[in-house]
Amino acid sequence: MTTAVERLVHKWSEVTASEDDAASIVGELVIAVNREWPPHAFERIVETAATEIGLSGLDYVKYRESRLERWRELVGFFETREHAESAIGSAIRVELEQLFGSRF
């Protein structure tokens, strides 16, 4: 019986057999991975922004849950993960400041 991993490895070998195809497929995979943000990635950004404005006691998970889909949409506008992380960090900080003010 073939496992899912074995089938995946076999398919990967097939699609990357050509050097040109391999470069293209790896490039597309990197883009896909960089654009898919797990929920916890946003929690870290929320925590940083909250700390920067002196906001304590915020439940990062609940806050993230209420905004996750919108934030994922926003990060999709950027070419690199680094640019997206910087921009979404700024957006989250501004949003927190508008809602809760700054303690500094």
Can you give the three-state secondary structure of 14-80, one letter per residue?
HHCCCHHHHHHHHHHHHHHHHHCCCHHHHHHHHHHHHHHCCCCCCCHHHHHHCCHHHHHHHHCCCCC
Q: Which of the two residues, 59 and 29, has the higher pLDDT score?
A: 59
pLDDT value at position 32? Answer: 65
Confidence of residue 34 (pLDDT cuts 50, 70, 90): low
